[in-house]
C-alpha cells in the first residue's frame, strides 16, 4: 500500500508540474495604453494570468492625483509613462515613441484609450494592438457609442475587441459580447451590469487567444456602420424616443429642454404605463403637450401621447433638484419675505455662522456643504431652527435640496407658511352610529393614493350578518380599475420613493401603521364585528390585536433581510467571492377571504411590504370595510371585489407574485392562470379538514375546552378548524356528554354584546350551505346530537352542531363545513397507527392536533400527521413568529414568521472574480 501511495503522489506531482508548465507557457510581454478603473482591472487580471506588463502608458496626474491604472502599476513596480500627448500637429513625438519602443512589448492592449496613438506605435509590436470599444461594431463607431445604443433604442448592447488600424475603430474584430437592453437601462446601468465586468474578462480572454495563436481577425463590414455624435434635442418625438434620448445622453452633455425660457437638463427617465399621476401643468418648449409636475417627478408626453417620467432637473447654474419640487425650488418664483420673516432669516444666518465658523460672512450665495458642513451639521442646523420655531415641519432633506443660504431661506419660509404641506386626503366615508361610537368606513377604490369610484360607477351593498340590514354600498371594481391600480403600484415601486426607501425607514412606517391601528382598535373591532359577524371581544383580541402584532413583527424585519456569502471553488490563479442578495419582487397582488378580513390582510401585506414590494389588495366581495379603513398609502392599492377582479390579477403581466387564501378549486384556477400569464410566483392557503385526535390519557377538562375551541372558534369560520375529531373509544361517550353540556351553555346572539359566545355566520349563502351540509350528514346516517338548523331570529345565525357516529366514507367526514359543526368519530383503544391512517386519509393538510399526557405518543403522532401545523395539547395557538401554511391540497407557501418574507423575496447570486 505504501508503494501505491508513493506512486499516486508522484503522479499527482507530475500532473501539478504539467499544470504549472501550461500556466506559464504562451504568455506575452504587454504594453497597456489607457486609463481609468477599467484599465486598472484589465492590468491586474492580465498579471494574474501570468502575462508580463512591461510598460503602462497613461494620462498625466490631475489635481495631484494619479489615474487608477497608474496607481496600481506604480505600486507593483511596473514602468509607468504619463505622456500628455503622443503627437504634435499630427506627427508622432520622437522621444515619446522611442520611450515606448524601449519597453519591448509584444502586444499593445488598449482598454478605453482616450489619446490618439500614432500608427508606428500601433503597428510596432509583433502582435500589433487590440482595443476595447463599447458597441457591437460596426454599429455606433465613434466616441459616443454607449449613448447611441440607448438613443437609437437598440434592443442589444455590447462591446467589441478589435485589432487597431489607421481608423482606430474600423479594424478586424477579435471578440464581441452582447446583452439585452432593459426598458429603463441607463449608460451607468449598462456599464456597471455588463460593459465593465464582462469587458474586463473579454480583454483578458483576447490576450490569451493571441498568445495561443487562436485569435480571429474578422473584417468589419460597412453594412450598418455608423459614425454618430451627440445631436441637438427635439421634443417632437414619440415618448419612447424621448425616453431613449434622455437616458442616452446621460450626464455629459445631458438631454435638455427649454422651460420658462431657461435651459433645463433632464435626468432619470423611465417609461410610464397608462396611469399618469395628477399634478400641475408645465409648458415645455416644442413639446406636443404640456408636461405635468407630479409628486413622483415630471411627466413628459411624446407625439404619440404616451408618457415618461423624469426624476431630476438641473439648471444652468449647476443646481439639481427633484423634478417633483420644480414649483417649490429656489429657481422658480421666489417669495417675498415679511418683516417678521426677515428677522427670523437673520437669526438663521447667525445659526449658519455658528456652524460655519471658518466662513468670514454668510452671503446669500454661501453654500452649506461647500463651506465644509457635514451630516452632523445638518442635524444641528435643523434642530436649532426647530427649537426657535416650535412646530415647524423642517427635515434634514430640506438642507440637502437647498444648499445655498438664499435657497434655504426660501424653503424655510415656505415651510413656515405651510405652503409645502401635502393635500389632505379626501375620503367619502360611510358613517354608522353603533357600539356607542360613530364609525367611519371608506367604501371606494383606493388607487395611487386617492379614494375614487369604480371606473364603471357600479356599487354593491354590504350586509350586516347580525340582522340582514345594509351597512352601506361599496365600489364594485372592474378590470380597468385593476389595470390602473397595478400601473400605480408599478410606478411606486420603480420610480416612487417606496422603491428607493431605506429599509429601516420602511420599518418605521409599518410601526407607525401598527400604532395607528392600536389607537383606533375599538373602531376597527366594531367595523369587523358588524361586517363579518365576529364577536366583538374576539375581534378586539384576535382580528385586530393579532393584526397589530403582525405589522409590528414584520416592521422589525425590514432592516434585517440579508443574504449570505458562499464559499465556492476558486478559479486559480484568480479567487472568487460569491454572495447572495434578497430583493423584492415588485408589484404583488393579495386576495383575502371573508372570515378574517383584517387579519388576513395583515398576515400577507405586512410581509409583502416589509420585503419592499408594492401591492394591490382585493378583499372578499362580501367583506370590505376594515381592509379599506387602513389602506392609506400609495404603495397599497385597494380594489373592492368585482366580477373579474381576481381573474385579472391572476392574468396581469406586471404582477410578480400573488398570495391567495380561499377555497381549493379557486386556488387551482389561480395557479393555472398565474402560470399561463407570466409564471408569477404564487402562495396558496386553501381548504382544510384538520384532524384532532384525542387519546384516553388526555387531560379531559383541557381536551373538552380546547376541542370546543377547535371547532367553534370564530363561529367555525376558521381555516384551521378541527374538521373531524377522533376520540378514543374508552372515553368517547364521556367526551360527547361533556361537550354537549358546554354547547348548551353557549350564548348565540348579537356579536356586539360582550357576553355573546357565538355570533352570526358571515353571509346568507354560507348559512344556507351549512344547513344543507347538516342535512346531508343526517341522510348518510350520522347521528345529529345537537343543532343542525338556522336559529329562528333575524340574521344568519347557525346553531352550534354536534355529529357522532361519523364513518370514513361519509360526505361530512371528508368535506370541510367551514362552520360551527363538530364531526366526531371514535377509534379503538390503543390503535395509534390505525387512527393516524384515518386522520391522514384526506387530500387536505393544513393543521392537526393531538391530546395526550404521554410525551412519546405525542411526539410520534406529531411526526406522522401529514399537516403543516400540529398542535399538541392545545389548538388555534398561532403566533406572528411561527410559520403558517399547509400541505397537499391545502396549498403551499407560508404566512407569518421569517418564512413568510421569503414568499415576497427573490434571491440573486453574485459571483466576483478578483
Told to judge if 719 belongs to the known catalytic residues of this protein, a careful annotator would answer yes
Q: Any binding-site annotation on 169? A: yes
Q: Any binding-site annotation on 645? A: yes
- Is the bond preceding 138 in cis, omega lying within 30 degrees of 0? yes
C-alpha cell of residue 115: 489619446
Long-range (24+ apart) CB contacts under 8 A made by 558-561 are 558/503, 558/504, 558/506, 558/507, 558/510, 558/610, 559/502, 559/503, 559/504, 559/507, 561/503, 561/610, 561/611, 561/901, 561/905
User: How many alpha carbons lie under 13 Å from residue 559 in its C-beta half-sphere?
Assistant: 12
Dist. CA 58–CA 894, nearest whole Å:
57
Q: Any binding-site annotation on 541? A: no
Q: Any binding-site annotation on 117? A: yes
Q: Any binding-site annotation on 817? A: yes
For 554, residues 6+ apart whose C-beta sits below 8 A from its C-beta are: 510, 606, 607, 609, 610, 880, 900, 901
Dist. CA 489–CA 655, nearest whole Å:
9
Q: Any binding-site annotation on 816? A: yes
Tell me the backbone φ, ψ of residue 741, rounded to 5 degrees. Answer: -60, -40
For 776, residues 6+ apart whose C-beta sits below 8 A from its C-beta are: 811, 812
Q: Any binding-site annotation on 245? A: no
Q: Any binding-site annotation on 592? A: yes
Dist. CA 666–CA 682, nearest whole Å:
13
Dist. CA 686–CA 629, nearest whole Å:
26
Q: Any binding-site annotation on 563? A: no
Given the residues 588, 608, 719, 774, select the one marked as catalytic.
Answer: 719
As beta bridge partners, residue 827 has 728
For 795, residues 6+ apart whose C-beta sits below 8 A from its C-beta are: 464, 465, 466, 467, 468, 760
Q: Any binding-site annotation on 284? A: no
- Is the bond preceding 573 in cis, omega lying within 30 degrees of 0? yes
Given the residues 106, 455, 528, 685, select the one marked as catalytic.
Answer: 685
Q: Any binding-site annotation on 274? A: no
Regarding beta strands 80-81 and 52-57, do their DSSP bridges make them parallel or antiparallel, or are they unpaired? parallel
C-alpha cell of residue 864: 406522522
Q: Any binding-site annotation on 167? A: no
Given the residues 51, 127, 133, 732, select the one marked as catalytic.
Answer: 133
Q: Any binding-site annotation on 118? A: no
Q: Which helix (H) or strand (E) holds 301?
A: strand 297-301
Q: Any binding-site annotation on 663? A: yes
Q: Any binding-site annotation on 395? A: no
Q: Any binding-site annotation on 620? A: yes
C-alpha cell of residue 831: 390503535
C-alpha cell of residue 52: 508580463
Dist. CA 148–CA 170, nearest whole Å:
17
Q: Any binding-site annotation on 643? A: yes
Q: Any binding-site annotation on 115? A: yes
Distance separating the N- and C-terminal Cα atoms of the chain: 41
Q: Any binding-site annotation on 220? A: no
Q: Any binding-site annotation on 594? A: yes
Q: Any binding-site annotation on 131? A: no
For 724, residues 6+ apart whose C-beta sits below 8 A from its C-beta are: 689, 690, 691, 692, 806, 813, 823, 824, 825, 839
Instruction: State whether residue 612 is helix, strand or coil.
Output: coil
Which residues have a catalytic role annotated? 133, 685, 719
Binding site for NADP(+), residues? 592-594, 618-621, 642-647, 662-663, 769, 816-818
Binding site, residues? 115-117, 169, 592-594, 618-621, 642-647, 662-663, 769, 816-818
Binding site for (6R)-10-formyltetrahydrofolate, residues? 115-117, 169
Amino acid at each position: 500500500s505504501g508503494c501505491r501511495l508513493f506512486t499516486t503522489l508522484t503522479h499527482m506531482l507530475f500532473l501539478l508540474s504539467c499544470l504549472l508548465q501550461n500556466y506559464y507557457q504562451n504568455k506575452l510581454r504587454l504594453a497597456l495604453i489607457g486609463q481609468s478603473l477599467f484599465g486598472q482591472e484589465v492590468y491586474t487580471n492580465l498579471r494574474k494570468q501570468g502575462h508580463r506588463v512591461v510598460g503602462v502608458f497613461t494620462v498625466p496626474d490631475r489635481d495631484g492625483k494619479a489615474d487608477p491604472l497608474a496607481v496600481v502599476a506604480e505600486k507593483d513596480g511596473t514602468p509607468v509613462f504619463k505622456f500628455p500627448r503622443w503627437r504634435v500637429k499630427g506627427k508622432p513625438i520622437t522621444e515619446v515613441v522611442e520611450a515606448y519602443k524601449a519597453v519591448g512589448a509584444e502586444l499593445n492592449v488598449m482598454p478605453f484609450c482616450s489619446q490618439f496613438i500614432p500608427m508606428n506605435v500601433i503597428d510596432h509590436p509583433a502582435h500589433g494592438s487590440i482595443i476595447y470599444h463599447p458597441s457591437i461594431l460596426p454599429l455606433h463607431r465613434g466616441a459616443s457609442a454607449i449613448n447611441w445604443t440607448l438613443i437609437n433604442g437598440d434592443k442589444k448592447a455590447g462591446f467589441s475587441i478589435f485589432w487597431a488600424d489607421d481608423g482606430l475603430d474600423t479594424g478586424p474584430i477579435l471578440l464581441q459580447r452582447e446583452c439585452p437592453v432593459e426598458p429603463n437601462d441607463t449608460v451607468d446601468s449598462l456599464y456597471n451590469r455588463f460593459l465593465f465586468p464582462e469587458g474586463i474578462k473579454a480583454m483578458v480572454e483576447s490576450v490569451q487567444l493571441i498568445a495561443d495563436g487562436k485569435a480571429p481577425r474578422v473584417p468589419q463590414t460597412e453594412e450598418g456602420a455608423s459614425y454618430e455624435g451627440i445631436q441637438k434635442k427635439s421634443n417632437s418625438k414619440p415618448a419612447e424616443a424621448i425616453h431613449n434620448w434622455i437616458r442616452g445622453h446621460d450626464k455629459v452633455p445631458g438631454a435638455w429642454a427649454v422651460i420658462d425660457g431657461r435651459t433645463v437638463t433632464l435626468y432619470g427617465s423611465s417609461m410610464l404605463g397608462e396611469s399618469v399621476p395628477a399634478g400641475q401643468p408645465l409648458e415645455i418648449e416644442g413639446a406636443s403637450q404640456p408636461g405635468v409636475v407630479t409628486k413622483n417627478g415630471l411627466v413628459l408626453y411624446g407625439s404619440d401621447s404616451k408618457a415618461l417620467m423624469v426624476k431630476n432637473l438641473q439648471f444652468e447654474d449647476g443646481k439639481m433638484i427633484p423634478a417633483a419640487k420644480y414649483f417649490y425650488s429656489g429657481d422658480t418664483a421666489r417669495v417675498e419675505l415679511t418683516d417678521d420673516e426677515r428677522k427670523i432669516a437673520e437669526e438663521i444666518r447667525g445659526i449658519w455662522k455658528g456652524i460655519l465658523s471658518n466662513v468670514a460672512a454668510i452671503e446669500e450665495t454661501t453654500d452649506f456643504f461647500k463651506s465644509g458642513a457635514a451630516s452632523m451639521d445638518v442635524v444641528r442646523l435643523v434642530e436649532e431652527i426647530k427649537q426657535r420655531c416650535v412646530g415647524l415641519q423642517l427635515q434634514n432633506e430640506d438642507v440637502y435640496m437647498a444648499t445655498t443660504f438664499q435657497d434655504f431661506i426660501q424653503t424655510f419660509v415656505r415651510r413656515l407658511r405651510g405652503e409645502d404641506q401635502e393635500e389632505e386626503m379626501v375620503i367619502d366615508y360611510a358613517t354608522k352610529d353603533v357600539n356607542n361610537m360613530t364609525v367611519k368606513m371608506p367604501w371606494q377604490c383606493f388607487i395611487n393614493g386617492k379614494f375614487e369610484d369604480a371606473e364603471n360607477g357600479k356599487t354593491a351593498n354590504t350586509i350586516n350578518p347580525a340582522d340582514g340590514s345594509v351597512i352601506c354600498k361599496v365600489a364594485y371594481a372592474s378590470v380597468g380599475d385593476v389595470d390602473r391600480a397595478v400601473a400605480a403600484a408599478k410606478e411606486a415601486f420603480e420610480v416612487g420613493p417606496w422603491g428607493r426607501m431605506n429599509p429601516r425607514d420602511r420599518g418605521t412606517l409599518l410601526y407607525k401603521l401598527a400604532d395607528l391601528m392600536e389607537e383606533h382598535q375599538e373602531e376597527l373591532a366594531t367595523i369587523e364585528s358588524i361586517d363579518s359577524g365576529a364577536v366583538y371581544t374576539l375581534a378586539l383580541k384576535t382580528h385586530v390585536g393579532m393584526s397589530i402584532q403582525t405589522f409590528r413583527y414584520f416592521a422589525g424585519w425590514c432592516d434585517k433581510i440579508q443574504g449570505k456569502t458562499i464559499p465556492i471553488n476558486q478559479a486559480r490563479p484568480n479567487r472568487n467571492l460569491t454572495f447572495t442578495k434578497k430583493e423584492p419582487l415588485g408589484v404583488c397582488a393579495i386576495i383575502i377571504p371573508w372570515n378574517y378580513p383584517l387579519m388576513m390582510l395583515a398576515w400577507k401585506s405586512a410581509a409583502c411590504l416589509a420585503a419592499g414590494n408594492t401591492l394591490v389588495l382585493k378583499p372578499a366581495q362580501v367583506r370590505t370595510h376594515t381592509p379599506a379603513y387602513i389602506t392609506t398609502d400609495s404603495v397599497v392599492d385597494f380594489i373592492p371585489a368585482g366580477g373579474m377582479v381576481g381573474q385579472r390579477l391572476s392574468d396581469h403581466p406586471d404582477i410578480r407574485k400573488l398570495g391567495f387564501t380561499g377555497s381549493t378549486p379557486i386556488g387551482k384556477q389561480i395557479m393555472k392562470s398565474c402560470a399561463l400569464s407570466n409564471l408569477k410566483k404564487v402562495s396558496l392557503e386553501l381548504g382544510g379538514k384538520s384532524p384532532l385526535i384525542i387519546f384516553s390519557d388526555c387531560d379531559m377538562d383541557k381536551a373538552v375546552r380546547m376541542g370546543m375551541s377547535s371547532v367553534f372558534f370564530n363561529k367555525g369560520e376558521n381555516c384551521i378548524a378541527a374538521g373531524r375529531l377522533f376520540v378514543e373509544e374508552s372515553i368517547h361517550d364521556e367526551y360527547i356528554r361533556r361537550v354537549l353540556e358546554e354547547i348548551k351553555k353557549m350564548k348565540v346572539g348579537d356579536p356586539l354584546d360582550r357576553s355573546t359566545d357565538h355570533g352570526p355566520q358571515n353571509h346568507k349563502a354560507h348559512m344556507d350551505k351549512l344547513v344543507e351540509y347538516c342535512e346531508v350528514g343526517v341522510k348518510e346516517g350520522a347521528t345529529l346530537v345537537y343543532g343542525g338548523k338556522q336559529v329562528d331570529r333575524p340574521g344568519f345565525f347557525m346553531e352550534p352542531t354536534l355529529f357522532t357516529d361519523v364513518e370514513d366514507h361519509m360526505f361530512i367526514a371528508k368535506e370541510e363545513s367551514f362552520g360551527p359543526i363538530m364531526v366526531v368519530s371514535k377509534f379503538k383503544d390503543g390503535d395509534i397507527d390505525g387512527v393516524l391512517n384515518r386522520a391522514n386519509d384526506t387530500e387536505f393538510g393544513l393543521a392537526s392536533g393531538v391530546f395526550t399526557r404521554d410525551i412519546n405518543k405525542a411526539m410520534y403522532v406529531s411526526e406522522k400527521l401529514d399537516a403543516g401545523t400540529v398542535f399538541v395539547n392545545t389548538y388555534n395557538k398561532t403566533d406572528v413568529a411561527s410559520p403558517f401554511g399547509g400541505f397537499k391540497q391545502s396549498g403551499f407557501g407560508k404566512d407569518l414568521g421569517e418564512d413568510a418574507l421569503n414568499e415576497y423575496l427573490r434571491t440573486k447570486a453574485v459571483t466576483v472574480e478578483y
